[in-house]
Amino acid sequence: MPQLIELGRILAPPQPETVHVPEMEKGVGCDFSRYLLVPDTSLHERIGAAVERLGTDVVILGHHYQRDEVIKFARFTGDSLKLSQQAAAADAKYIVFCGVHFMAESADVLRQAHQVVILPDLNAGCSMADMADIGQVETCWAELESVGRLNVVPITYMNSTAAIKAFTGEHGGSIVTSSNAARVMSWAFTRGERVLFLPDEHLGRNTAYRMGIPLDEMVVWNPYQELGGNTEEAIRRAKVILWKGYCSVHQRFLPEHVDRVRAEHPGMQVIVHPECRFEVAQKADAIGSTEGIIATVTKSPEDTAWAIGTEIHLVNRLAKKLSRHAIISLDPHVCVCSTMFRITPQHLLWVLENLLEGNVVNPIRVPEDQRQWARVALDRMMQLV
Ligand code: 13P
Ligand code: SF4
């Protein structure tokens, strides 16, 4: 036994702290040897068996950035928009969301009354969503109001906490995803004169610029500075106020990477996610959400070569599936979403076997006071899709 504990320490996933402590206190799923010290083959057999036994009671959703060993069990795969729609339409009692926290929260807001959303590892967060804290956003709003009658509509990327989504709903705004940002932003300009875009500076800038808004009509709001680091005059001049948040995965892609691909692989097409920097998006041949990237590359003629600027699991999977296309990552150095990566087959098995035993571990529940307004913001988006 001491030997097993030692092995457990070395074998890391899932680390003891990733298990929901209150559940452990109740004695649920705390026998690590049932999950840690299992060869991959039997782990997969056990997941398959649990999925089969749970039948229509469970639906597993997998975001495109999930690792292969997890996504192969997903009944539905997609980008955050598609998954949120599938979560809403699914009839299963349990929605096991193999994605990150904000996605599971959105599914919880959209779910039917009899459903429960489960996130296999509660530590699967999103660094970008964490960059906009509700207190900071409320301060920003109050400071904008102090500037005068600006007529601002808040637009919030799906990659945000439920509290920020609720704030958006309550203040007349809508959610956007990377596949409908321009449509939602156009709608916002029919309701107000300015947009406050949360929390991704790059998606906001890339979208607004493609809609014809010049860069000098955009300001960046740094929540750690008074008036976001802007003068009142600059704010009055701006049409778009961009929250200073970013994705640590996509911000790694640089214009130099595009230049290198162009030099080393003449004729290769570059497609990037809109969370990439403006300078990268400008140099790319195409921009797309995860779903958009997959569709564009899949539909392209077989001899097309692609350099893709997004998370590496999606790129590798696409390269394997479309073996006649030459597909590489835009950044030669591995670029993984470390929080998505927290969802392991061990966590998936743990939640499924607990369901079989009648225990719901790691449920995601958005507080009631946030749910109502977050739903308003999400519904506004859904009506525009
Ligand atoms: P998609 O909506 O394009 O899947 O993007 C989600 C995400 O988190 C990208 O970083
Ligand atoms: Fe968040 Fe970036 Fe990971 Fe997407 S890729 S979940 S934005 S950290």
24 CA distance to ligand 2 middle (Å): 28
275 lines ligand 1 (CB under 6 A): yes
The per-residue pLDDT for 10 is: 25
Alpha carbons 131 and 378: distance in angstroms, whole number: 20
Q: Which residues line ligand 2 (CB under 6 A)?
A: 100, 126-128, 159, 247-249, 311, 337, 339-340
DSSP secondary-structure letter at 363?
B
Closest residue by Cα to atom 1, ligand 1, is 79
Mutate to test the pocket of ligand 1, among 66, 71, 80 (most ligand atoms within 8 A of CB): 80
65 CA distance to ligand 1 middle (Å): 8
106 lines ligand 1 (CB under 6 A): no
pLDDT tens-digit profile, the chain (385 residues)? 222 222 222 223 333 333 343 343 344 555 667 887 777 778 999 999 999 999 999 999 999 999 999 999 999 999 877 887 787 788 899 999 999 999 999 999 999 999 999 999 999 999 999 999 999 999 999 999 999 999 999 999 999 999 999 999 999 999 999 999 999 999 999 999 999 999 999 999 999 999 999 999 999 999 999 999 999 999 999 999 999 999 999 999 999 999 999 999 999 999 999 999 999 999 999 999 999 999 999 999 988 999 999 999 999 999 999 999 999 999 988 779 999 999 999 999 999 999 999 999 999 999 999 999 999 999 999 998 7
The per-residue pLDDT for 31 is: 65
Closest residue by Cα to atom 5, ligand 2, is 337
Q: ∠ at Cα 289 (344, 180), nearest 5°?
A: 125
231 CA distance to ligand 2 middle (Å): 31
- Closest atom of ligand 2 to 100 CA is 6
Number of the ligand closest to the Cα of 338: 2
CB contact at 8 A, 245 and 128: yes
259 CA distance to ligand 2 middle (Å): 25
Alpha carbons 383 and 300: distance in angstroms, whole number: 30
| Omega before residue 14 within 30° of 0, cis | yes
243 CA distance to ligand 1 middle (Å): 18
pTM of this structure? 0.89
Helix (H) or strand (E) holding 345: helix 345-356
The per-residue pLDDT for 1 is: 28
The per-residue pLDDT for 276 is: 98
Mutate to test the pocket of ligand 2, among 67, 128, 246 (most ligand atoms within 8 A of CB): 128
Number of the ligand closest to the Cα of 313: 2
331 CA distance to ligand 2 middle (Å): 16
The per-residue pLDDT for 34 is: 81
Alpha carbons 9 and 213: distance in angstroms, whole number: 53
The per-residue pLDDT for 313 is: 95
247 CA distance to ligand 2 middle (Å): 6
Closest residue by Cα to atom 3, ligand 2, is 337
Q: ∠ at Cα 83 (82, 89), nearest 5°?
A: 95
310 CA distance to ligand 2 middle (Å): 10
The per-residue pLDDT for 16 is: 32
**Exposed / middle / buried, residue 74 (Cβ in 10 Å: 0-12, 13-18, 19+):** buried
55 sits in the region (left: phi over 0; alpha: psi -120 to 50; else beta) called left
Structure tokens belonging to residue 167: 């704030």
Tens of pLDDT, residue by residue over 112-126, are 999 999 999 999 999
Tens of pLDDT, residue by residue over 323-377, are 999 999 999 887 799 999 999 999 999 999 999 999 999 999 999 999 999 999 9
The per-residue pLDDT for 282 is: 98
Phi, psi of 201 (to 5 degrees): -55, -40
